[in-house]
Amino acid sequence: MTLENIARQTHQAAQLLALLPSQERDIALLSMAEALEMSAPEILAANLTDCQVAQAEGITESLYNRLKLTETKLKEAIAGVRNLVKLEDPLGSVQIYRELDENLLLKRITCPLGVIGVIFEARPDALIQITSLGIKSGNGVILKGGKEAIRSNQILMEVIHRGLATSKVNPQALSLLTTREEINALLKLDKYVDLIIPRGSNELVRYIQENTRIPVLGHADGICHLYIDKEADAEKAVSIAVDSKTQYPSACNTIETLLVHIAIAPQILPLLAQALQAKGVELRGDEITRQFLDIKPATEEDWETEYGQLILSIKVVDSLETAMEHIRTYGSKHTEAIITENPLTALTFCNQVDAAGVFHNCSTRFADGFRYGFGAEVGISTHKLPPRGPVGLEGLVTYKYQLLGDGHIVATYTGEGAKAFKHLDLNYEDALLR
């Protein structure tokens, strides 16, 4: 079957999925979870083969760790599917309910996007997460996984389809692509695919952003900063710096650069260096920093680099303004944090810094859909336009305007003797009871 046919088929199945009530979509999720549980041994065996082949081909350790589906990881992924059932239905939510005039009612109501194209690298558990998010949000999903995980992904999709077969969801709403060539073909299918979610390296994301007209959810770089103000509490500053850098070094919400106010630098730099180096962090500093610390110099390239590992650059600044100017120049609008006990300084920072997240006296690592309480996360966006920051199910839905009249025409409301609109917002729940 050609990719275009697969896409058309997914699109058609998605249109039917969109019409299913919340309860049927939740039942499908539960069937899916059960099928995955029952077939766990089969899934783990396929993954083992993938892992063995990948090792024989000399896969990197970090890629291997993502590819490897342990029993725990699988259990967690299945628990994630069950958790989705508990989340509120993102569809059919009435955002505007307005009487434009007598018997002319405007409703803005959430609905699915249609078909989501997801391109992900090695992690097979991502397949479980993405397909279940698709079902919950009433969207079809076309997946393209990494070639290392091909056996894992195929068995997972087979099992999920088997689970859906007993539900009202047409399994064709979920499709799996397996060859690399199909990525470029997928990126051209703007007729059938409404959103692309790339999950993988910055290079993958950038390539996709530059090669498709379909909207892309996500971000390439995550260059986050922690600014330690002159009125910072030293203990909080050190603890937050360590957490922001070392809690998960390859995450996008990890900091790459510390900005330290010169008035607090002599006191705090040694404390920071001690705590960070104890965690194995390599430090690089600008000239002033190196007057206090015996570390490598940081170059222009350092300010622009997302290390993704235990390296941290440090710059001493003479003011809040200089810190914000550095962030403006090098930040990727992901998450930026300030440590200060002065509430006015914190407010200035939070108001003026342009980023999806502006944090005061807490770790940048909190920038995450689960921690924000969104239940499920489809990605983090550094775009200026919404959805911005960690995106939950809301990133997978859109809305439409329904206008219900009784023969109303615009001529009545135009020109000489035009009738005026009422524009009266009604309470939707009350209206349902009438």
Residue from 2, 5, 61, 373 in contact with a copy of itself (CB under 8 A): 373
Residue 410 sits in the site that holds a copy of itself (CB under 8 A): yes
Residue from 89, 308, 388, 426 in contact with a copy of itself (CB under 8 A): 388
CB of 94 to a copy of itself, least distance (A): 13
Determine the Cα–Cα distance for residues 118 and 264; give it in Å rounded to an integer.
46
Query: How many angstroms separate the Cα of 387 from the Cα of each of 52, 156, 376, 377, 379?
Result: 40, 30, 14, 12, 10
Interstrand relation of 104-112 and 94-101 (parallel, antiparallel or unpaired): antiparallel
CB of 339 to a copy of itself, least distance (A): 9
Interstrand relation of 224-228 and 255-261 (parallel, antiparallel or unpaired): parallel
CB of 60 to a copy of itself, least distance (A): 24
Residue 421 sits in the site that holds a copy of itself (CB under 8 A): yes
Determine the Cα–Cα distance for residues 111 and 286; give it in Å rounded to an integer.
51
Residue 21 sits in the site that holds a copy of itself (CB under 8 A): no
Q: Which is nearer to a copy of itself, 122 or 238 (CB)?
A: 238
Residue 223 sits in the site that holds a copy of itself (CB under 8 A): no
Determine the Cα–Cα distance for residues 157 and 128; give it in Å rounded to an integer.
8
Residue 371 sits in the site that holds a copy of itself (CB under 8 A): yes
Tokens of 366: 């909190």
Q: Which is nearer to a copy of itself, 259 or 391 (CB)?
A: 391
Q: Which is nearer to a copy of itself, 130 or 391 (CB)?
A: 391
Determine the Cα–Cα distance for residues 23 and 29; give it in Å rounded to an integer.
10
247 CB contacts (<8 Å, ≥6 apart)?
A: 254, 363, 365
What letter would DSSP give residue 264?
T
- Mapped onto helix, strand or coil, the DSSP state of residue 87 is coil
Residue 360 sits in the site that holds a copy of itself (CB under 8 A): yes
Residue 275 sits in the site that holds a copy of itself (CB under 8 A): no
Question: 163: closest CA among 187, 214, 128?
Answer: 128
CB 316 within 8 A of CB 265: yes
Rounded to 5°, angle at Cα 111 from 206 and 22: 115
Radius of gyration, alpha carbons of the chain: 25
Residue 409 sits in the site that holds a copy of itself (CB under 8 A): yes
Contact stretch for a copy of itself (CB under 8 A) within 64-72, 172-180, 285-293, 377-385: 377-385
Residue 344 sits in the site that holds a copy of itself (CB under 8 A): no
Cα dihedral value 118, 122, 125, 126, nearest 10: -20
CB of 42 to a copy of itself, least distance (A): 30
CB of 61 to a copy of itself, least distance (A): 21
- Mapped onto helix, strand or coil, the DSSP state of residue 278 is helix
Binding mask 73-112 for a copy of itself (x = CB under 8 A): -------------------------x-x---x-x------
Residue 413 sits in the site that holds a copy of itself (CB under 8 A): yes
Binding site for a copy of itself (CB under 8 A): 15, 19, 98, 100, 104, 106, 113-114, 194-195, 215, 233, 235-236, 239-240, 242-244, 247, 346, 350-352, 354-363, 365-367, 371-373, 383-386, 388-390, 398-411, 413-414, 421, 423
